[in-house]
């Protein structure tokens, strides 16, 4: 059995390694799901668009967080004219369309907002729409009448007139039977109705309306200040974090190792040059350079990755690998390889490098989360990729919106938990691998 297989079999004896491996498998599964469910360009566009998110509440915590605390905050309710039968009556030259949108409201809290999205098609005469709110008791509250354009948002909860008429903000006043001006209005649960009456002046004109009663909570992960569902960012942040961590770790470790091996094998000025370059690079601070590149040039994640890898190559790792490789350079098997005619490249890649790969693997595994964290830190510092949703960007947004001050803990905790889970998974596997492949750490 090869030493590799042997090492991996031995890994089974470490429960922490299995747990770590489990976490990593889970993250990878999530990442794969993310990229297959929402392709890269789609995810990028989705995250940037405003429209896609218009019927989600702003900064709404996840449903389970509210329910866990015994809350009964409303979820978002959407009712469209397509879901109901549209009555039609004809008068001389005009049509009267009427739709009743039922709103089943069983929650203990008031909605965040109430909006009606109206779309209509006409040639040149806009339809005229009148809205009426009907409470479960049958009381009718007129919401006003107006002409509507092709696509219009009627913000019912923003209606100042209505507010003064009701004595409450509309999203409260419409859902309570408390007397106007009461300090602590209670929700009147039951089925409400929005009656839409449209007068069409053209024969072919149409009207579609979509009522959104915004909840106070949303989905599994909640939403941010731009109504975007955090699920998308958290989901898509996974492949980005893993890819960034993996590519940076592979890029730095493998290149570092090969460069160190080349220096050790060729010696002379090549080695000296690599050493001096490393020494200079080691005193260059990584973060300020990244900040500089980010502010002056671009914050594209792939550019950052490149900078991290390039600066990571000539790092302390070179010194470490060099120290490990120097005695191996003198190994008889290398001399034997020279004696049977192996060239420099072959000796470096096939005889020197594989010898310390086992030591490299744990380093490599524990390095992955370091780079994941680095990416997150960059994003928090405002150097996140401008277009991609990542965990770091969520944190950055949360920070910008003073999420913690406003009590939106979920907004910070969710990406933080994922970051920690990633760190934990790779660390547990990495430390176990270290024990397996690093005999010095293995007690007999």
For another protein, the closer of residues 85 and 444 by Cβ is 444
For another protein, the closer of residues 351 and 364 by Cβ is 351
Shortest distance, position 241 Cβ to another protein, whole Å: 32
Shortest distance, position 329 Cβ to another protein, whole Å: 13
For another protein, the closer of residues 25 and 331 by Cβ is 331
Q: Which of 269, 274, 264 is nearest to 331 (CA)?
A: 264
For another protein, the closer of residues 130 and 355 by Cβ is 355
Q: Cα 369 to the chain's mean position, in Å?
A: 17
- Quickly tell me which residue has 């200040």 as its tokens: 225
Binding footprint of another protein on the chain (CB under 8 A): 2-3, 331-333, 335-343, 346, 350-351, 354-355, 357, 444
The answer to whether the CB of 40 falls within 8 A of the CB of 388 is no
- What does the radius of gyration of the chain's CA atoms come to, in whole angstroms? 31
Shortest distance, position 336 Cβ to another protein, whole Å: 5
Shortest distance, position 316 Cβ to another protein, whole Å: 22
For another protein, the closer of residues 243 and 328 by Cβ is 328
Shortest distance, position 361 Cβ to another protein, whole Å: 13
Shortest distance, position 7 Cβ to another protein, whole Å: 11
For another protein, the closer of residues 334 and 421 by Cβ is 334
For another protein, the closer of residues 207 and 359 by Cβ is 359
Shortest distance, position 290 Cβ to another protein, whole Å: 36
Q: How far is CA 386 from CA 302, 365, 401, in A?
A: 11, 28, 17
- The CA distance from 212 to 215, in Å, is 9
């Amino acid at each position: 059995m090869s030493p590799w297989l042997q090492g991996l079999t031995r890994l089974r004896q470490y429960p922490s390694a299995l747990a770590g491996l489990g976490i990593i498998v889970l993250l990878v599964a999530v990442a794969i799901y993310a990229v297959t469910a929402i392709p890269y360009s789609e995810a990028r566009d989705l995250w940037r668009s405003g429209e896609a998110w218009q019927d989600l509440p702003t900064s709404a915590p996840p449903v389970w967080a509210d329910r866990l605390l015994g809350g009964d905050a409303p979820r978002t309710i959407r009712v469209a004219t397509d879901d109901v039968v549209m009555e039609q009556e004809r008068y001389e030259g005009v049509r009267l369309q009427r739709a009743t949108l039922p709103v089943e409201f069983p929650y203990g809290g008031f909605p965040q907002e109430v909006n009606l999205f109206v779309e209509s098609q006409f040639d040149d005469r806009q339809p005229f729409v009148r809205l009426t709110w009907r409470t479960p008791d049958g009381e009718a509250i007129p919401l006003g009448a107006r002409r509507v354009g092709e696509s219009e948002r009627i913000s019912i909860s923003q209606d100042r007139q209505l507010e003064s008429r009701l004595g409450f903000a509309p999203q409260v006043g419409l859902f309570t039977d408390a007397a106007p001006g009461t300090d602590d209005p209670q929700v009147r649960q039951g089925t409400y109705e929005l009656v839409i009456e449209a007068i069409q002046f053209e024969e072919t004109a149409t009207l579609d309306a979509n009522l959104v009663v915004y909840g106070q909570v949303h989905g599994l992960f909640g939403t941010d200040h731009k109504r975007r569902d955090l699920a998308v960012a958290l989901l898509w942040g996974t492949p980005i974090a893993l890819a960034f961590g993996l590519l940076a770790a592979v890029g730095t470790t493998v290149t570092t190792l090969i460069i160190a091996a080349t220096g050790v094998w060729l010696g002379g000025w090549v080695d000296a040059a690599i050493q001096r370059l490393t020494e200079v690079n080691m005193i260059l601070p990584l973060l300020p350079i990244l900040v500089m590149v980010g502010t002056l040039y671009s914050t594209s994640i792939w550019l950052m990755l490149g900078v991290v890898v390039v600066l990571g190559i000539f790092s302390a790792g070179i010194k470490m690998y060099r120290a490990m490789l120097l005695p191996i350079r003198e190994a008889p098997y290398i001399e034997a390889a020279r004696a049977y005619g192996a060239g420099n490249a072959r000796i470096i890649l096939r005889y020197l490098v594989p010898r310390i790969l086992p030591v490299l693997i744990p380093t490599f595994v524990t390095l992955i989360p370091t780079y994941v964290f680095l990416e997150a830190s960059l994003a928090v510092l405002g150097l996140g990729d401008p277009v991609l949703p990542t965990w770091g960007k969520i944190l950055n947004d949360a920070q910008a919106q003073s999420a913690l001050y406003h009590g939106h803990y979920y907004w910070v905790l969710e990406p933080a938990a994922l970051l920690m889970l990633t760190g934990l998974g790779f660390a547990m596997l990495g430390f176990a691998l270290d024990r397996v492949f690093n005999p010095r750490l293995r007690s007999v």
